[in-house]
Amino acid sequence: MTFQQLGVSEPLLKAIEELGFESPMPVQEKVIPHLLDPESGDVVALAQTGTGKTAAFGLPLIERVDTSRHIPQALVLAPTRELCLQISSDLADFSKYVNGLRVLPVYGGSSIESQIRALKEGIQIIVATPGRLIDLIKRGVVKLDDIHTVVLDEADEMLNMGFLDSIDEILSHIPADRKMLLFSATMPNDISRIAKKYMKEPVEIVVGKKNEGAQNVKHIYYMVNARDKYLALKRIADDSPNIYAIIFCRTRRDTQEIADRLIQDGYNADALHGDLSQQQRDIVMKKFRDRVITLLVATDVAARGLDVDDLTHVINYGLPEDTAVYTHRSGRTGRAGKTGVSVAIIHSREKGKLREIEKKIGKTFERKEVPTPDHIIEKQLYNLADRLEKVKVDEAEISKYLPGVARKLGWLSNEDLLKRVLSLEFNRLLDYYRDAPQIDFIDEKPRKEKKERNFERPSEAEKDRRTAEKGMARMYINAGKHDGFYAGNLIDMLNQLVSGKRVDVGRIDLMPGYSLFDIPEKEARRVAEGLTGADFMGKRIYVEKADPDKDYSKASTRRSGRKADIPADKFAGSDFSGDDSETTYEYFLKRSRKNSSAKPKRKSKK
């Protein structure tokens, strides 16, 4: 099968041949003919990142545009600025020989005036992040009346970032007879609901299996004591001399700390997280693409849209809560037909989560021992020997320096010379590993489960999830994914309802019935006061400092058992099931009376 046989026109064929496209990838073979057929309907395509999905929707999108009309005709929505720019760049490359076609990336963090100016000059394809596009719609500078095709790329990521309401707002401005394409790496229930709500009898195209990890990725894990995770990370990096990897951490603080330690220990590393300015992020990503740095330590949000095809490893410095997040992480390696390795560094309490991920992605993780110092040094030495063997020698230039160097080193035997060459390269490793501690490979120890009548205590993993870092408070909020509550909703509520300066938010864990989030310890009371009593889509919100010993998963089913002057709905989703909560109850009682007499009901922005 060739691109020409799929119906791709000559100008596009010429451009993609220059880009190195030879034969269509599976997702392109399935999607392109369907989109080029004017009688075909909507499409839900499930494919991993790196499988060629941008060309799958981009090529037919360009084919369907009328370049004689200088108005928006196609819209691509992406969750992040980086992905928006990447898609725009790819579409521009594909349309190199299509005269008169203009593609405009629309995203926050860039001059809105320049984007307005480009819109007025006339464009045919808009690639946008939801927030900035809504801003332009409200200003009346972008008209979507002639949009005939809408693409939602990485739809599962957009949902995780809380963009459902924004998508709804944008689609309300687009004709109902549009053609719609939804691309996602995973198929959670929310994606099915989007397809049902916005699409007309969509055709489902699956490359591989639903929620399956990338085919070319090998999944392995190392189990170590929590205190040895960083040592294990360094040994994994040292055991792979040509490593080019993203190391995923759960919080911005962990990300910066791990990157700083790697840099201090002599590795070409840097951090990528939300505390960096856009200019700083662009610089870091350029250095990583150019391989000035080979280890990028990143949070999931910051790494979205970073498009690199030849990663050798993805390293999970601990497992994410959501299996879909792991699928996205691991899908960043093993792309474009290449092989890759997804590594998880875990401790024993994460074994259950590992098995859950295995079941969801249909892959088995290989258990490996942390590389020993002897093995690492041997691996590095052989790699150097391989480089020496393959190095290109410029005979003409080097020959004029050889006599002088030979006189200087002539007294050394071949063996002595070889030893010195190797030592010059390896003294750091040899010194570091000379007295290196043994990193134990631990087994999960069987535990006796203690259960009390009518009450099951949270697992150790659950307690660990509710523990904040030093200086931070772990907060509980009685809204979760089943309520349509995502990270974007939480940020909106904090910005709108908590008085005073902006609250910095760290790690966020979204559960089905509740959520947990980190804020500075000193902000805990202010945040609890600001959010408690608010309304989210008809649900009364309650926030408290998370207690590792409370079973929040069953909180919504419990009765408060408290005094009659407090309406029962005041405690919806809260855990007041023990005598130890008396202090919280008295505080909430005072707040309830104060709110009912002095303050109107507040509503969060949906």
Model pLDDT for residues 482-493, shown as the tens digit of each residue: 777 888 788 888
Report which listed range, 176-190, 328-342, 535-549, is most confident. 535-549
Q: What pLDDT, on the 0 to 100 scale, is given for residue 58? A: 93
The Cα 276–Cα 112 span in angstroms is 21
| Range of lowest pLDDT (94-103, 323-332, 349-358, 508-517) | 323-332
Q: What pLDDT, on the 0 to 100 scale, is given for residue 345? A: 94
Q: What pLDDT, on the 0 to 100 scale, is given for residue 68? A: 92
Higher pLDDT, 174 or 467: 174
Higher pLDDT, 449 or 9: 9
Q: What pLDDT, on the 0 to 100 scale, is given for residue 222? A: 92
Q: What pLDDT, on the 0 to 100 scale, is given for residue 561? A: 32
The DSSP code sequence of 354-398 is HHHHHHHHT--PEE-PPPPHHHHHHHHHHHHHHHHHH----HHHH
Dihedral sign (CA 540, 545, 546, 549): negative
Tokens for 224, please give them. Answer: 């170590």
Residue 49 has pLDDT above 80, yes or no: no
Residue 570 has pLDDT above 60, yes or no: no
Quick one: pLDDT band at residue 133, thresholds 50, 70, 90?
very high
Instruction: Give whole-number Cα distances, 150 to 44, 179, 605, in Å.
Output: 12, 6, 26
Q: Are the CB atoms for 232 and 441 separated by under 8 Å?
A: no
Global pTM value: 0.52
What average pLDDT score do residues 285-302 get? 89
CA triple 219-433-230, angle to 5 deg = 45
What average pLDDT score do residues 433-439 get? 74
Residue 7 has pLDDT above 50, yes or no: yes
What average pLDDT score do residues 467-471 get? 73
Residue 444 has pLDDT above 70, yes or no: no
Q: Are the CB atoms for 521 and 467 separated by under 8 Å?
A: no
DSSP state of 320: -
Q: What pLDDT, on the 0 to 100 scale, is given for residue 111? A: 83
Tell me if residue 260 falls in helix, strand or coil.
helix
pLDDT digits (tens, 9 = 90+) for 137-150: 999 999 999 999 99
Residue 349 has pLDDT above 90, yes or no: no
H runs (alpha helix) in 239-394? 252-264, 278-289, 300-303, 323-330, 351-361, 373-390
What average pLDDT score do residues 443-467 get? 48
Higher pLDDT, 249 or 82: 249
Residue 473 has pLDDT above 60, yes or no: yes
Residue 270 has pLDDT above 90, yes or no: yes
- The neighbouring-strand residues paired with 455 are 452
Whose CA is closest to 550, among 569, 574, 526, 515? 574
Residue in the block written with tokens 């307690």: 463
What average pLDDT score do residues 410-434 get? 81
The Cα 256–Cα 249 span in angstroms is 9
Quick one: pLDDT band at residue 462, thresholds 50, 70, 90?
low
What average pLDDT score do residues 78-83 get? 84
Quick one: pLDDT band at residue 337, thresholds 50, 70, 90?
low
Instruction: Mention every residue, 6+ apart, whose C-beta is less than 8 A from residue 391.
Output: none
Q: What pLDDT, on the 0 to 100 scale, is given for residue 495? A: 85
Residue 22 has pLDDT above 70, yes or no: yes
Residue 560 has pLDDT above 80, yes or no: no
The Cα 36–Cα 195 span in angstroms is 20
Residue 224 has pLDDT above 80, yes or no: yes
Dihedral sign (CA 135, 137, 141, 146): positive
Residue 422 has pLDDT above 50, yes or no: yes
Q: What pLDDT, on the 0 to 100 scale, is given for residue 405? A: 87
